[in-house]
A = this chain, B = another copy of it.
């Protein structure tokens, strides 16, 4: 194991991951800065923080579109999983139990859970039902810089893993299951986002009125033998998704529009979680005033109608809301928009 060291102001060399069993039946998501999409918990602390975070693996039957339900493999119970917000330089001690062999209910408030637990209980937009499908899984945080054969190790049902990582680089990062087939595990629902805010911020921070996290992802589903949908191997292999969605559900961002007012600066933390497609992200009626590719403040662009984001790529985007009315977030690859990659931003008066 490489001993901890610093280089260019960053910290590398994390202790070996621990794989163990624990008698845990508490809330599956723990951590003060962990929220339900599209929320982002503001960072209310100075300097760096050591976060203790838990996101357990759960199987949940969820709705991803009107009339389309499947048994999802999830981090924390939703697809995408919870949003973790930390600051550049923060250390995270992460614990995860593979509870794919357990029925875990996430629709009721729990004690000691993260804001995510409260938010999902109040707004279970995927209409969760707990389910069981015991499977080995793992966790790969793109925000972490560690050896994958150690930290991203696969654990069996009933096992837990615990490891540290440092958020060395600012930006928005996907996390996902890294167990083969990664195509299937990610498509089945095991992905989410970590937002690492830069320690010196972005130049427009003081003007930002609202922040939202928006995740694009594809589902590859076909009708199963019963009422549920199931994974479509051929569709996934051929890059022919059945649904391309924002925040895990085909119509959620129309049913529950993002809100803002005319004249405000809205910031989107956008992540394209794939598993395979690109996104030509655009907001109908708006132009991105500032864009930071991958969310890193060094990578600034201005005046972009559309930002092309690869699979597991991201961007932080500021938009001035021009006037009262409706704006539509969209993957401007229109074949994908037709499969659901659209959402609404509703702007009130100035």
Contacts and interface: CB of A to CB of B under 8 A. Distances in A.
15 contacts: A12-B263, A142-B282, A146-B322, A147-B322, A150-B325, A174-B305, A183-B335, A186-B334, A237-B335, A279-B310, A280-B311, A293-B301, A294-B305, A298-B303, A311-B332
Nearest to A277: B333
Contact of A296 (B171, B302, B310): B302
A314 B305 CA distance: 9
Interface string A314-342: 10000010111111100011111110000
B349 A2 contact: yes
- Measured as residues with beta carbon below 8 angstroms from the partner, the interface class of chain A is 35 or more
Contact of A12 (B274, B301, B322): B322
A26 interface: no
A168 interface: yes
Given A183-B337, A299-B304, 14 more contacts: A2-B324, A2-B349, A2-B350, A152-B285, A169-B289, A183-B335, A236-B335, A278-B278, A278-B280, A298-B300, A299-B302, A305-B312, A306-B313, A308-B313
Nearest to A2: B323
A311 B306 contact: yes
Given A308-B308, A311-B280, A312-B305, A324 B1 contact: yes
Interface string A43-68: 00000000000000000000000000
A347 B276 contact: no
